[in-house]
Amino acid sequence: MKIWVPYESVAEVLSDLPGVQCSVHDGIGPEPDGIEDVEVWIPPLVTVPDVPGTLARMRSLRLVQTVTAGVDAYRPHLPEGAVLCNARGVHDAGTAEWAVGAMIAVLREFPGFTDAQRRGEWTYHHTGVLADSTVLIVGYGSIGQALERRLDGFEVDVVRVARTARDGVHGMAELPALLPAADVVVLLVPATPDTAGMADAAFLSRMKDGALLVNAARGGVVDTDALVAELKSGRLRAALDVTAPEPLPGDHPLWSAPGVFVTPHVAGSTPASGRRMLRLMRAQLLRYLGGEPLDNVITEAY
C-alpha cells in the first residue's frame, strides 16, 4: 500500500506496519513518483499549492488523513470513494493554551510593556484583568472544551456556543443575543460556508465597548476590514493567530492598528501537537489496515 506522508517523522512511526510503503512529500520538494497509486495521503501542515489537481491524479486514493483540525482545503475536492479524516484533538492543548495566553497578554497589556522595556521606560498604570470576565466560546468542540478546562481557576464565567444547541451549550441562532454581555469572544469554529465572514460588521457592533476578540479559528471567519475599523475607533481589541489574508502582508493595516496582538498562525505549532500527531497517524493507519472504523471522519454535518 502506497502512502504519501508529509515528514520523515511520520514515515518512521509507520515504518514497521506490514505492506506499507511511505513516500515523503512536504508539498515543497519534488513530487514522488507513483501518485496514481497513492492509497492514503497525509498532507503537510502547510497546504500544498494545487490540492484539486493533486487529488484528481490520485486515482487509487481511499483515505485523506490531515494533520490539522481544519479540512476546508480538501473537503470540496475529495474524490468519490475516498474518506476524509481530520486531526481532531491533536492541536487542542496548544491552541487552547495560546488562547489563554493571548487573552492575558492583551488584557494585561504585555505587548505595550514590552515596547516600553525596549525604550527603557517605566510606564506604571492599571491594566485590565481576566478575572470576573465573561468568556464566550464560539465553536465548542474539542478545542473549546480544552480552553474551558484551562480557564478553570481564572475566575471567569464561560458561555458556550456550538453549531447545534445541547445541554449547557447555546446554538448559533442565540449568538447575536449573547455577544453584548461578553468581555472576551473566542472564535474556534471550523472554516465552512456557514462560518465564512461570520464576525462581520454587524457581529462586531454587537460586542460591548472594550471587549476582546480572540481568533484561533481561520482568518476568513472574520471580516478583516470591519475589524480594522473597530480597532482604529478604539472600541474593540483583538488577539489574532489567523488572518485574512495570510500570511499578512507587511503593509497591511492590521499590523499598525491599535489594540491588536498578532501571531503568525502558531497556536497549534508545538512539540505537544507533534507528539500527538504522530500517535494519531499510527493509530489511524492501524485501524485502516485492520478494517476497523476510523476516527475523526468528516461527514456532511462536519
The reply to whether 62 belongs to the active site is no
Q: Are 131 and 152 in contact (CB under 8 A)?
A: no
- Tell me if residue 97 falls in helix, strand or coil: helix
Residues 6 or more apart whose Cβ sits within 8 Å of residue 299: none
Backbone phi and psi for residue 254, each to the nearest 5 degrees, phi listed first:
-60, -35
Q: How far is CA 157 from CA 90, 95, 137, 139, in A?
A: 26, 20, 11, 16
Cα 71 from Cα 65, distance rounded (Å): 9
Q: Beta-carbon neighbour count of residue 67 at 10 Å?
A: 23
Q: Are 162 and 156 in contact (CB under 8 A)?
A: no
Q: Are 67 and 89 in contact (CB under 8 A)?
A: no
> Which of 25, 88, 237, 265 is an active site residue?
265
> Which of 75, 218, 237, 276 is an active site residue?
218
Cα 209 from Cα 42, distance rounded (Å): 44
Cα 250 from Cα 301, distance rounded (Å): 37
The reply to whether 252 belongs to the active site is no
Backbone phi and psi for residue 63, each to the nearest 5 degrees, phi listed first:
-145, 130
Which amino acid is located at 127 in the chain?
T
**Cell for 295?**
476516527
Burial category of 177 from C-beta neighbours within 10 Å (exposed 0-12, middle 13-18, buried 19 and up)? exposed
> Which of 148, 163, 246, 252 is an active site residue?
246
CA 96, distance to chain mean position in Å, is: 10
Burial category of 281 from C-beta neighbours within 10 Å (exposed 0-12, middle 13-18, buried 19 and up)? buried
The reply to whether 91 belongs to the active site is no
List, by residue number, the catalytic residues: 218, 246, 265
